[in-house]
Amino acid sequence: MKKKRLCAALALLLGLALAAGCAGAPASSSEAPLREEDARIPGEGSGFVVQLEGEPPVSQQVRENTVTPGFIHMTEEYLRAREVFRLFRGNPSHVEDFPREDGTWYQPGTLSQEIDGKLYYRAWNRYENWADFEAMVRAVFTDEYADALLAEGTFRNRDGVLWYAADTAQPDPAYQGGRTDNFLTVDQYVGYSEVENSFKEFTLLAHYEGENGVFVRELPLRAEYTEETGWRFDRFDDPAYTDRTYPPQQRQEYTDLSFLTEEQQALFTAARQAADDYLFGSASNILRLPGNRMGETFFVQQNGYTVEAAVVEGADGDYAALTRKMRGLFTGEYLEKTGFTQRFGVKDGRTTVILGDMGTDIYYTDGAFDTYRLIGAREDAVDFMLVAHYASPQDYETDDSFIYRRDTGNWDYLVEYPVRLVNTPEGWRLDTYERPY
């Protein structure tokens, strides 16, 4: 395609030169410069299958070769951003891959001109009009980020018509992170954080094959939300076209709790289990713990509703003893924040609980592959990150293959949860923790 376009450009320039040399004399039709209406040549299609719902459409190529971060719940927005970003960093002529709204398609590269000493081609297809192209870019990127991309000069506006640069960039041959049968080189995502209806940010771990084996580059991504525009990215990158001088990253993580003292290890292990059992999920899970059983049931008022509750019989039936056990593991502030006194009540000295069930995150790899990243350790506190591993089902997987991949540690993305242990007068206590499932 590139060779054909260069030939077309040379032929056009030669025609223009001949026409200029014959000024003042009638020119034959063979010597006249190619007219715009003659350059619009119908074709049989770009060869790319696209989903025509939404702007921009998503090509089958991008959809099938992008591992999507399922946890952000904005997969289509992410794929569209990938589709647009590669136009600026890869081959601008891909803007011609998309057929017009009526399904017709015209051959690209049939009309060219130099703008500021650089060769450009006229667009003929879905984004022939500059206004449509600009609106498409602003649909996936914030105005500030879109302004920066459009100012680069890869695409130009000439009398309302889109012209795109003839320059192309080849994808990095070292990039190995698309969907492959080797799960070890599939792209992954880490460091997810979100403020609801404000922003989402996360990091793409892009995988490459170098002289010394597979290495990773961390590419930060960020999306902002407004009621008028929805989600749009204000920081983006494509691992196939990113800066190849970008340094490979090495994430220093621990696969165990060896960075803690024995006392701290024992406290965190016991407190994490207790938090999972008592403070997260359904409060009624206490009835399923060894040594506990359900006693009499009764109805109570909670938040304006009548709900069913039960007395806990057995090991945790003594409310005062249960409270002492929890205060031996957690700070009072943490128990208040997690709603311990709202989850469990007391009736005649016995522990009571509201009945009900709550699901868990099926994407979590069940803790078997968790790692830890130390932030800082002092005499009065230790801060670290619990790095939880998740696998989300991809379009090409069956349910069985997804479950096998998840349970064998072939994860898609990471979420880091902050953990803090504090040294109180009564000993070490867990002060910050969130269950990853």
Residue 399, SS3 per DSSP:
helix
For the residues 193-216, what does the mean pLDDT come to?
77
**Confidence at residue 17, expressed as pLDDT on a 0 to 100 scale:** 37
Work out the mean pLDDT of the chain and round it to a whole number. Answer: 80
Residue 2 has pLDDT above 60, yes or no: no
| DSSP assignments along 98-167, one per residue | SPPTTS--B-SSS-EEEETTEEEEE--STT-BHHHHHHHHHHHB-HHHHHHHHTTSSEEEETTEEEEES-
104 pLDDT band (50/70/90 cuts)? confident
Sorted by sequence, the CB contacts under 8 Å of residue 365 that are 6+ apart come out as: 388, 389, 390, 391, 406, 407, 409, 411
**Alpha carbon of 17 to those of 22, 191, 296: distances in Å?**
9, 58, 98
Crossing angle, helix 130-140 and helix 143-150, to 10 degrees? Answer: 130
**Confidence at residue 196, expressed as pLDDT on a 0 to 100 scale:** 72
Residue 188, SS3 per DSSP:
strand
Q: Is the peptide bond before 239 cis (omega within 30 degrees of 0)?
A: no
- The terminus-to-terminus CA distance of the chain in angstroms comes to 50
Residue 406 has pLDDT above 80, yes or no: no
Residue 183 has pLDDT above 50, yes or no: no
What would the pLDDT profile of 420-431 be if each residue is shown by its tens digit? 899 999 999 999
DSSP 275: I
* Higher-scoring residue by pLDDT: 375, 137: 137
249 pLDDT band (50/70/90 cuts)? low
Q: Buried (b) or exposed (e) across 9-41, using 16+ Cβ within 10 A?
A: beebeebeeeeeeeeeeeeeeeeebeeeeebee
Rounded CA-CA distance 238/82 in Å is 7
Rounded CA-CA distance 429/437 in Å is 22
**Confidence at residue 70, expressed as pLDDT on a 0 to 100 scale:** 65
Contact yes or no for 163/129 (Cβ under 8 A): no
186 pLDDT band (50/70/90 cuts)? low
Quote the Cα angle for 106-14-105, to 5°: 0
Sorted by sequence, the CB contacts under 8 Å of residue 282 that are 6+ apart come out as: 356, 357, 358
**Confidence at residue 120, expressed as pLDDT on a 0 to 100 scale:** 97
Least confident of 206-215, 298-307, 337-346: 206-215
28 pLDDT band (50/70/90 cuts)? very low
**Alpha carbon of 21 to those of 16, 18, 113, 186: distances in Å?**
9, 5, 19, 58
What would the pLDDT profile of 214-232 be if each residue is shown by its tens digit? 677 888 899 999 888 889 9
